[in-house]
Structure 1
């Protein structure tokens, strides 16, 4: 369940940030930790 929530949060954050690859990479790093 945690992973599914993380995926939804990542999608939402990615949508808000748009094409800002740097921020997207930082978010991915956070979820991987």
Structure 2
């Protein structure tokens, strides 16, 4: 397996996870604030 491909996959997973986590925080924020 190529090392650059591994870095690309890891970076993509981190980016997708950060987007999903940010969206979930914005969605659940008002419920937690209540």
> Normalized against structure 2, the TM-score is what?
0.52
Structure 2 unaligned residues grouped into runs of 5+: 1-7, 29-34
Q: Which runs of 4+ in 1 moved over 6 A?
A: none
Higher alpha-carbon Rg: 2
Aligned to 2:10: 3
> Normalized against structure 1, the TM-score is what?
0.53
| Greater per-residue helix proportion | 2
Match for 1:15 among 8, 22, 32?
A: 22
